[in-house]
Structure 1
Amino acid sequence: METNYTEAERYYQAQKRVKEIKDFYAHLTVYLLCNPIVIAVNLMTSPGYLYFWFSLLGWGVAIVLHGLKAFDCFPFLNKEWEQRKIEEILEKDNNKQLWK
């Protein structure tokens, strides 16, 4: 199914992508600013138990996933999958209306 976008729709989609990328950079900035604080607090309060790794790794995985989504590099749940799912839902809805 070929989709024809108007100029306004294309602009909206581009604007939406820019916001996703901007949100990713904000998330990355917060990660880079907060984790040194977590590391410093950990080293000052309990240097024998290094718990900052949990923050670095857990939050780091979230950053990577956010980046993959923002830059449209997700190996699954991408735009093609979304389009197929939308068509599947519309088809099911059409079938329900036919049987009513």
Structure 2
Amino acid sequence: MEPSSLGRRSKQVRAKKRIEQLKGFYIHLVVFVLVNIMIITGAVIGNMNNGESFVDSFFNFNTFSTFIFWGIGVIFHGFKVFSYNPFFSKAWEERQIQKYMDADKNEMKKYS
């Protein structure tokens, strides 16, 4: 194989992997929305059948607990797929690399 075809193949593999990640995230998001609509609807109707008002049953923590905790998971999934990392940014990585390079340079100066 020619080098250009290897590069093209590599790009194609990376693009396919990226599409699979995006597709996985969007499927996760759709399932999250649909399932939570059903859970919230069922919880509100069930609470109303037990004598609570609509407002009391809707603004109950138990009604939204699955939505909240699963939502945290969806957010982190999105961070991963869209390469967003608020804690370990590129600038942080560069500072850490520079720190270790400086430490190595200082260590080498001890022995010269």
Q: Kindly tell me: are residues 26 and 13 of structure 1, through their superposed partners in 2, closer, same or farther at Cα, counting changes over 3 Å?
A: same
Where do 4+ consecutive residues of structure 1 move more than 3 Å? 75-78
Structure 1 counterpart of 2:77, one-letter code: H
* Partner Cα separation in structure 2 for residue 31 and residue 39 of structure 1: 12
Specify the alignment match of 2:43 in structure 1.
42
Per-residue displacement from partner, 1:29-54 (whole Å, max 9, x unpaired)? 00111111111111121255631211
Tell me how far 1:6 sits from its aligned partner.
1.8
Specify the alignment match of 2:3 in structure 1.
none
Specify the alignment match of 1:93 in structure 2.
none
Specify the alignment match of 1:27 in structure 2.
28
Structure 2 residue ranges without an equivalent (≥5): 1-5, 94-112
What TM-score, normalized to structure 2?
Answer: 0.58
* Partner Cα separation in structure 2 for residue 27 and residue 12 of structure 1: 23
Work out whether 1:53 is the aligned partner of 2:54: no
Q: Kindly tell me: are residues 75 and 9 of structure 1, through their superposed partners in 2, closer, same or farther at Cα, counting changes over 3 Å?
A: farther
What TM-score, normalized to structure 1?
Answer: 0.64
Identical positions, percent: 27
Count of aligned pairs: 76
Tell me how far 1:19 sits from its aligned partner.
0.6
Q: 2:79 aligns with which of 68, 81, 92?
A: 68
* 1:46 alignment partner, SS class: helix
* Partner Cα separation in structure 2 for residue 9 and residue 21 of structure 1: 18
